[in-house]
Amino acid sequence: MKKVILVLVSVFLITGLSFGQSKTVSQLEETTKGYKLYLYQSLIRVMNTDKNPDFNMLIRDLDHLKVVTSDAEGPLALKEAFTSLDKSVKAEGFEVIMSVDNKEYKCHLMEKTSWRGGSTYVASFLTDGYAGVLEMKGSLDLKYINALKSLDIEKLKELSPDGLDNWD
């Protein structure tokens, strides 16, 4: 009986620790009335406006992106939501590996490596009108990072269920 319990606890710990899903992202997804989007590789490929082959190389190991935005409104509320989300993700053990901070947007890309060597990436972002988080399952081949310029966000707006009219 002890062996069965030990095996079950081990399996639970291994599966629980191998999935690096962020609790912050899951909690925001459950509580917010903002946008919740799952972008699978096939949809992301459609947004490759100039059919750049490097873009396909960039996302070849990406399973999906989950984007969750806060339902906070107004510049101060959005900034507060961004700060709170950013702090919560960092508290989970994610480390900032890249930051962008300019007048148009702020973004902190964070990584957490599991004991098995796999990484989970979460980005907190603040734009004019949106604060939220993005979680990535899979990885990007950063040799092709310049191919991101081929990404057409307008195409995403067209493909989304309600047209995301409020994105503007």
For 54-109, the pLDDT digits (tens) are: 989 988 988 888 888 888 888 888 899 889 988 999 999 999 988 888 888 888 98
Q: What percentage of the chain carries pLDDT values higher than 90? A: 7
CA geometry: angle 167, 122, 26, nearest 5 deg: 80
Confidence of residue 21 (pLDDT cuts 50, 70, 90): confident
What Rg value do the Cα atoms of the chain yield, rounded? 18
DSSP string across 44-82: HHHTBTT--HHHHHHHTTEEEEEEEE----SHHHHHHHH
Q: Would you kindly state where each structural domain of the chain is located, as residue ranges?
A: 20-161
**Cα–chain center distance at 41:** 13
Closest C-alpha among 86, 106, 105, 83 to residue 96: 86
- What type of residue sits at position 155? K
User: Residue 167: which of 42, 156, 48 has the closest Cα?
Assistant: 156
Confidence of residue 53 (pLDDT cuts 50, 70, 90): very high
DSSP class of 151: B
* 20-161 to CATH, choices 3.40.1350, 3.30.310, 3.40.630, 3.40.50: 3.30.310
pTM: 0.69
Residue 123 or residue 152, greater confidence: 123
Q: How far apart are CA 155 and CA 49, in angstroms?
A: 8
- Bridge partners of 142, per DSSP, are none
Give the orientation angle of helix 23-31 with respect to helix 75-91, to 10 degrees.
Answer: 140
